[in-house]
Chain A
Amino acid sequence: MINVYELSRVFYDPQRGQINAVNRLSFTAEKGQILGLLGPNGAGKTTTLRILATLLDPTSGHATLNGFDVVKEPEKVRASLGFLSSTTGLYPRLTPEETLRFFGQINGMEKMQLKQRIDELITEFGITEYARVRCEKLSSGMKQKVSIARALVQYPPVLVFDEPTVGLDVIAAAQTMKTILEYKKRGKCIIYSTHIMSEVEKLCDRIAIIHKGSLQALGSMEDLRKQTGKRYLEDIFFSLMETDHDSVQNDMLM
Chain B
Amino acid sequence: MQRWIEIKTVFVKEMTEIMRNTRILIAAFAFPLLIFPIVFGGMSWLQDLDRGQMEQTGIRVMLPSYNQDIEDFITENLDIPVQFFHTEEISKSIINDEADIGIVMDMQKAPERNLWLYYTASRNTSMHARQKIQQLFSENRFEWINKFLKYDISEFDDSRFVPLTIDFSDVASDRERSGHRVAKILPFVLIMILVSGCSFAAVDLIAGEKERGCFETLLVSPVQRTNVIIGKMSIVVFSALIGLISNMVSLFITAKLGFFDLTGEQTFEFIIGIETIAVIFLCSLPMTVLFASLLMFISAGAKSYQSGQTLLMPFTFLAMIPAVTAILPGMRSDSILVLIPVANIVLVMRELLEGTLKIWPLLVGNLINVLAASGVVILTVRGLNREGSLVPGSSTDSDRMLKDFRNDPVKVVFIGFIVVWLGMFYVMAPLQADNLILGLLLTLWGLIFCAGLIMVKIQNLSFRKTLSLNNPGWSGWLGAVIFQTGFLPVILFFNHLLTNLLPLPDQWLEHFSDALMPDVSTFGLLMLMAVSPGITEEILFRGAILGSLRKKWSMTPVILVSGIMFGLLHFSVYRLFGATMIGFALAWMVYASGSIYPAIVAHILNNALALVVIPELGLQDVNEYWLLLGIPLVILGGYLLSFRTAKRDLKRSAVNASNIGESDHGGGSI
By a beta-carbon cutoff of 8 Å, the part of chain A in contact with chain B is 11-14, 46, 50, 53-57, 75-76, 78-79, 81, 83, 85, 87-94, 98, 102-103, 105-108, 134, 147, 150
Contacts and interface: CB of A to CB of B under 8 A. Distances in A.
Contacts of B399: 12-14
Identify the interface centre among A12, A46, A106, A108: most chain B CB within 10 Å of its CB.
A106
A88 B219 CA distance: 10
B397 A55 contact: no
Interface extent on B, as a size class?
Answer: 20 to 34
A106 B222 contact: yes
Contacts of A108: 2, 5, 222
B220 A55 contact: yes
B392 interface: yes
B222 A76 contact: yes
B2 A81 contact: no
A166 to B, nearest CB: 12
Given A13-B397, A55-B394, A56-B387, A106 B17 contact: no
Contacts of B394: 50, 55-56
Interface stretch (B80-88, B164-172, B208-216, B519-527): B208-216
A60 to B, nearest CB: 15
Given A12-B399, A14-B397, A93-B20, A55 B219 contact: yes
Nearest to B218: A106
What are the 5 tightest A-B residue pairs by CB atom distance, in nearest-first order? Answer: A89-B213, A79-B222, A83-B220, A89-B212, A93-B20
Given A78-B221, A87-B393, A107-B222, 12 more contacts: A11-B397, A50-B391, A55-B391, A56-B394, A88-B217, A93-B17, A93-B21, A94-B13, A103-B221, A106-B9, A106-B221, A134-B20
Interface in B152-200: none
Interface of B: 2, 5-6, 9-10, 13, 16-17, 20-21, 209, 212-214, 216-224, 387-388, 391-394, 397-400
Contacts of B400: 12
Nearest to A101: B13
15 contacts: A12-B399, A13-B397, A14-B397, A14-B399, A46-B393, A54-B219, A54-B220, A56-B388, A75-B222, A87-B213, A90-B214, A91-B212, A107-B222, A108-B5, A134-B20
B9 A85 contact: no
Given A87-B393, A92-B212, A108-B5, A78 B13 contact: no
Given A92-B212, A105-B9, A134-B20, A55 B222 contact: no
A54 B221 CA distance: 10
A12 B397 contact: yes
B221 A85 contact: no
Contacts of A14: 397-399
Identify the interface centre among B9, B13, B16, B220: most chain A CB within 10 Å of its CB.
B220
B219 A89 contact: no
Given A50-B391, A54-B220, A91 B17 contact: yes
Contacts of A92: 212
A13 B21 CA distance: 37
A53 B220 contact: yes
Contacts of B222: 75-76, 78-79, 106-108
Contacts of A87: 213, 216, 392-393
Contacts of B212: 89-92
A76 B223 CA distance: 10
Contacts of A89: 209, 212-214, 216-217
Contacts of A134: 20
Nearest to A80: B222
Given A55-B387, A93-B16, A150 B217 contact: yes
Contacts of B5: 105, 108
Nearest to B2: A108
A150 B213 CA distance: 14
A65 to B, nearest CB: 11
A76 B221 CA distance: 9
Contacts of B21: 93
A94 B14 CA distance: 10
B216 A102 contact: no
Contacts of A85: 216
Contacts of A12: 397, 399-400
A23 B417 CA distance: 42
A135 B206 CA distance: 19
Nearest to B21: A93
Nearest to A57: B387
A147 B213 CA distance: 12
Contacts of A79: 222
Nearest to B394: A56
A207 to B, nearest CB: 24
Nearest to B204: A93
A55 B221 CA distance: 10
Nearest to B214: A89
Nearest to A105: B9
Contacts of A106: 6, 9-10, 218, 221-223
B456 to A, nearest CB: 26
Contacts of B218: 106
A142 B223 CA distance: 26
Contacts of B209: 89
B384 to A, nearest CB: 13
Contacts of B6: 106
